[in-house]
Structure formats: C-alpha cells, structure tokens
C-alpha cells in the first residue's frame, strides 16, 4: 500500500469523528456519523503526509467509548420498550453449541485496560451465522463499569447500559479461533436495533425485535432538482433477524454510507440510517478518483481532495466514473498565527446533473524537516450541501464561513470566503433583513475577507448591473 493510500484510508477511517483508529477494531459506528451531522461544522482532524505513515488525530475529542448506534433519525411516537438482545441465539449457527461455547471464550482484542470488556462467565452469543462469504457473530455480556454521568452529559448513551458487546467476523466455515473482533467493546443499549455491514460486499445483519419489519435501500437517488429520494425493498425477517445484502458499486471508499436500513415496529419507524460497518482487511487499495482543477491546482488544500471525493462516493453509492469532481477554487485565507491556511470548494456533479458542494479549510501545522518528519495539516469542513442541476460548476456562487482555530481551539479566525464566476465585480455580505454588512472585491475566482457577524447571505454583482443573492453555505453531512 502506498503512502497516499495509507493517508486516504486513515482519513476515511476518521472521517466521521471516530477518534484514533484502533487496530484490528475497524468499525464505523453510525451514531458518530449522526453526531457529526448535528454539528454545523465538522473538524476533520490533523493529517501527516509524506514518507512517514499517515496519522490522523481528530480535533473534536470523541472518546473511544463513544462508538455506538444512535437513536432513530426521524421524529416518531415512542414505542414500547423491547430488549432486542434478549432471547435465544439467532442465526444459522444458533444450534452449533460447540461454536457458541468457543466464541464466548474468545478475547475481545488488544484494548485499553478501561475498555468495557465483559467477564467470560457473563457472556452470551446473541447472533452467530453464515453471512455472504464469511461468518459473523455478536457476543454480549455484563458491562463491568457502566458510565454514571447524567444522560444529558453523555456523548454515548450506550455507555450507561448494563450490557457491553463486540462483533466478530471470520472467513467462510471459520472456527471460533478464527473469529476476530471488528468492533471496539462498547456499551449496547438493549432497546436499540443492532446492525453491522460490510462496505465492500454489501452484506448486512439487522438485529431487531420479533415482529419488526425491516426494509433496505441500496442508495439515495439525487434528482436534478436537488431533492433526494430512496427506493425500499422488504427484507426477510425471522424473529427480528434479517441477513441480507446491499447492491454496491465497485468499491472506491473504505466505508459506504449509501445503503440504509429502516426498521418499523407497530407501524412506527424506529430506525432509518446506514448500518454500523467494519473496514476492509489490511491491504485494501483505495481507488484514485479523477479530479479536475479548472483554475489550477494549489498545493496544501489538495491534501484532502481524494478524501472528499471518497466521501461523496460513499454517500451516493456511485462508481467514480459516474461523478465529475472539480475543485472550482482553492487559495490562501487568513489563519491563526503564521501557519499557512487555505480554503477550497469541491463540486461533484452527479448523473442527474445535481451537484454536491463541499467547502473546506486546511492549515499547515508543521512543514516537516525530513522524509521521516513529514508535513502535518489540520482540516475542517464548513459546507456540505446539494444544489440542483445547472450550468458549469465554475459558474456557481459559493459562500461559506471558514472558522480556523489555532492549537487547542484558541485564536479562531473567521473569514467569509465566496467562490464566484469570472466577471463578478463585487460580493456583499447581507444579514437576514438584507442589510449590507460588508463588500468584498473578488480576485482570482473568489472574494475573501473577515466574516461579518450576522451574515446569512451574499449578493454577487454580475456584469451589466445584474445582482443575485445566494444563501450562506450549510453543512448537512448526509443525503
């Protein structure tokens, strides 16, 4: 695996604020994705690039114990409490007692001493079965130290649970000794549907309550007008268990968020999101995605371009040859201290013509002094949104607030950054009442200046006196 591959793989492991990757526990917990989506701005972390192995340290502190599944993503009336982890073992290997006995004896990985590892005597197998080309199992037990923080102070409500658990995966026909943990030991809310997926094959397991309906959607459909819809199909469910497979494109990202699981109980939707999933085995090579630079490529902000393209492919489920990626502008912006800082806008044009826009910033933390002391960058993303089909990507007016912080979150510098088409003569920052807050003069395809408090939109002055207003870019983080 090349250094660039290592960098992209590490970034995609951390792209949803997971914290430092823990090997061999390669899990992407949907709950952390949803936590990131609720933030207006997402810090991507720091990146080390060069001959040295890539490293990622997420800027937003999220403890490893925060790996979990979030509550439903839709507002719905509450349903009666159901323990989805209770009852006899489910799955095609439920009757193989020797296999189950061997599983409970398996270690839960090389984890820190304070990890919630259940004592062997309290463990039991909730699911064990043949899934696609391998064997999967969920083993749970008594949480030795549930969190005592009040619920409103928890970043992970599962940490309060009396139950902790780990998913294991092995090859086809695996013995218990060949089953390896692929998730970090974490508290599991017994009333919450449990899921696990393989992003490369599309295999997925859903552990719901008996009587629940389970439906799958392979990917979102982004229409030309920018609206997003999904087609659903019913999964076969036995005693609340569904073992199925998403249709996946040729893998270009180490994680996929295109497929969604929907669970309905007594007519009430209790879950709608992509499943938790484990990463590919070591040695997976990330595909290099073609990216155009119509205004020229700028070294520095381009360090994240492959990662951002991978995010789009992960969310849409599309192969790389069906999406056109363009960095329509990148350049220097003010930053804290003397560290070189840049911002950039990437536009992904989908088959329907709709565009996904990402606005990001990158700061050089350390230039590096040798092949083994590589440059280190800090990065964040302020804009992720869908725009309808239209003309060339370079004709878009793209405003965002870039808020770049120094070490420890101090000395934040806020800038208004607006990518504009050639010919725009002025950009005016406006508040919600349309009052002028500041006017900037574009240069080289963008207008950059201090961010005026209260800015909600900008007005761009085109040739022949035409003025159009555009809302400040937003961060949705998902489709």
Burial of 79 (0-12, 13-18, 19+ CB in 10 A): middle
Q: Which two tokens stand for residue 195?
A: 């899921």
Q: Which two tokens stand for residue 84?
A: 């989805």
Cα–Cα dist 196/78, whole Å: 24
Cα–Cα dist 73/235, whole Å: 20
The position carrying tokens 């909730």 is 126
DSSP 3-state assignment of 212? Answer: coil
Cα–Cα dist 386/475, whole Å: 10
> What is the phi/psi pair of residue 124, to 5°?
-150, 160
Query: What is the structure's pLDDT at 40?
Result: 36
Burial of 51 (0-12, 13-18, 19+ CB in 10 A): exposed
Query: What is the structure's pLDDT at 242?
Result: 98
Q: Which two tokens stand for residue 159?
A: 């940490």
Query: What is the structure's pLDDT at 114?
Result: 85
Return per-residue pLDDT of the chain as tens, 479 residues: 333 333 333 333 333 333 333 323 333 333 333 333 333 345 555 555 443 333 222 222 222 222 223 333 444 456 678 999 999 999 999 999 999 999 999 999 998 888 899 999 999 999 999 999 899 999 999 999 888 877 676 666 677 889 999 999 999 999 999 999 998 899 999 999 999 999 888 999 999 999 999 999 999 999 999 999 999 999 999 999 999 999 988 766 677 899 999 999 999 999 999 999 887 766 677 778 999 999 999 988 898 899 999 999 999 999 999 999 999 999 999 999 888 999 999 999 999 999 999 999 999 988 877 666 788 888 899 999 999 999 999 999 999 999 998 877 778 999 999 999 999 999 999 999 999 999 999 999 999 999 999 999 999 999 989 999 999 999 987 88
Query: What is the structure's pLDDT at 368?
Result: 77
Query: What is the structure's pLDDT at 252?
Result: 64
Instruction: Report the relative pairing of strands 213-217 and 260-265 from DSSP bridges.
Output: antiparallel
DSSP 3-state assignment of 4? Answer: helix
Residues contacting residue 436 through CB under 8 Å, at least 6 positions apart: 428, 429, 430
263: left (phi over 0), alpha (psi -120 to 50) or beta: beta
Query: What is the structure's pLDDT at 317?
Result: 93
Are the CB atoms for 253 and 311 separated by under 8 Å? yes
């Amino acid at each position: 695996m090349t250094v660039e591959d290592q960098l992209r793989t590490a970034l995609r492991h951390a792209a949803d604020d997971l914290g430092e990757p823990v090997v061999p526990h390669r899990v992407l917990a949907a709950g952390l994705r949803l936590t990131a989506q609720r933030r207006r701005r997402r810090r991507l972390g720091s990146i080390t690039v060069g001959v040295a192995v890539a490293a990622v340290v997420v800027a937003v502190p999220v403890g490893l114990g925060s790996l979990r599944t979030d509550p439903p993503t839709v507002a719905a009336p509450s349903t009666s409490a159901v323990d989805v982890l209770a009852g006899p073992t489910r799955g095609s290997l439920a009757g193989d007692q020797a296999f189950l006995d061997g599983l409970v004896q398996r270690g839960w990985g090389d984890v820190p001493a304070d990890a919630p590892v259940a004592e062997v005597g309290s463990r039991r197998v909730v699911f064990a079965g043949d899934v696609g080309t391998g064997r999967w199992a969920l083993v749970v037990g008594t949480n030795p130290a549930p969190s005592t923080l009040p619920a409103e102070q928890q970043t992970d409500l599962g940490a309060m649970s009396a139950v902790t658990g780990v998913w294991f995966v092995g090859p086809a026909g695996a013995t218990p000794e060949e089953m390896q943990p692929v998730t970090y030991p974490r508290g599991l809310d017994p009333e919450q549907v449990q899921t696990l997926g393989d992003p490369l094959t599309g295999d997925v397991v859903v552990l719901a309550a008996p009587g629940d309906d389970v439906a799958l959607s392979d990917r979102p459909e982004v229409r030309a007008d920018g609206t997003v819809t999904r087609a659903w199909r019913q999964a076969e469910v036995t005693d609340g268990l569904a073992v199925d497979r998403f249709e996946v494109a040729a893998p270009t990202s180490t994680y996929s968020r295109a497929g969604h699981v929907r669970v309905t109980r007594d007519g009430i939707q209790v879950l709608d999101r992509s499943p938790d999933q484990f990463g590919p085995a070591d040695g997976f090579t990330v595909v290099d995605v073609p990216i155009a630079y119509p205004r020229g490529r700028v070294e520095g902000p381009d360090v994240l371009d492959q990662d951002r393209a991978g995010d789009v492919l992960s969310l849409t489920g599309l192969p790389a040859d069906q999406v056109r990626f363009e960095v329509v502008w990148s350049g220097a912006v003010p930053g804290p201290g003397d560290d070189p800082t840049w911002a950039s806008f990437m536009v992904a044009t989908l088959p329907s013509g709709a565009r996904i826009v990402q606005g990001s910033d990158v700061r050089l933390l350390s230039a590096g002094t040798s092949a083994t002391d590589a440059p280190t960058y800090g990065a964040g993303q302020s804009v992720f949104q869908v725009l309808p089909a239209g003309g060339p990507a370079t004709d878009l007016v793209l405003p965002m607030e870039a808020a770049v912080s120094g070490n420890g979150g101090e000395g934040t510098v806020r800038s208004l950054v607006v990518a504009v088409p050639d010919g725009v003569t002025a950009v005016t920052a406006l508040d919600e009442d349309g009052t002028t807050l500041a006017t900037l003069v574009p240069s080289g395809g963008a207008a950059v200046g201090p961010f005026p408090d209260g800015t909600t939109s900008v007005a761009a002055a085109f040739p022949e006196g035409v003025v159009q207003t555009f809302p400040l870019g937003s961060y949705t983080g998902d489709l």
